[in-house]
Amino acid sequence: MTIDPMHKWCDLALPYDSRVRGCLFGGAIGDALGSAVEFMSLPEIRSAYGSDGIQDLLSSKITNDTQMTLFTAEGLIRSHLQCANLVTSVRDAYDRWFDTQQVRRPMLSDEGPRTGWLREQAWLYARPAPGSACLSGLQSGRGSLELPAPGAIGIINPGSKGCGTVMRSALFGLLPYDRLNRPRVVPTSPTDIRQQLSPQGLSR
């Protein structure tokens, strides 16, 4: 019998909620560590932090990728609890994240998709250098919910080469297969629809 080498890294006996928390916390901590050196070259990092590079968290500020990961989670939870369309639920969650980038404090709740627990959290109302592709994609309107064909370039920000989509899509790997109603291996996820669908961005 052949053993998948990934099994030594994955404890399949871990409770599902523990894996979800690990995904959220691991992503947030890694993103916080990397945010201070995101736009620095390796020589610049070593010059600033020594040969071992950055070794500790330098700031308690939340990053935009962590913000969007949390709103992705909220969209997935809402889709499950309300038996709603997954793509619609995640898209609506990103609209709520977009609200946090426009004002300094929580607004009065509106009806429908503009309500949510995360939208009411004052600490999320920060604008830590969000990607222009995300902002322009969300600002451009709802557009079509239809996913492009595998390998096709999306209609919004097709030239964007950012990799933020990949960073906030980890939670989709924890979804049961039948919630996606799509082949297990796909080139992208519903989080790309409103932001970016560039082959270069998806490959990073």
Q: What is the pLDDT of residues 144-179, one digit of tens each?
A: 555 556 556 556 666 666 666 777 788 887 776 554
pLDDT of residue 10: 57
The average pLDDT across 5-19 equals 66
By CB atoms closer than 10 A (0-12, 13-18, 19+), residue 91 is buried
CA 183 to mean position of chain CA atoms:
20
- Percent of the chain clearing pLDDT 70 (strictly above): 63
pLDDT at 115 over 60: yes
Report residue 42's pLDDT band, with 50, 70 and 90 as the boundaries.
Answer: very high
Q: From CA 79, how far away is CA 90, in angstroms rounded? A: 8
pLDDT of residue 146: 58
Q: From CA 40, how far away is CA 28, in angstroms rounded? A: 20
Residues contacting residue 131 through CB under 8 Å, at least 6 positions apart:
64, 160, 162, 164, 195
The average pLDDT across 87-109 equals 83
pLDDT of residue 44: 95
The average pLDDT across 1-18 equals 61
Provide the whole-model pTM.
0.72
Inter-residue contact 96 to 119 (CB < 8 Å): yes
Side-chain half-sphere exposure of 63, counting CA atoms within 13 A? 24
The more confidently predicted of residues 128 and 148 is: 128
Query: Residue 34 belongs to what H/E stretch?
Result: helix 16-35
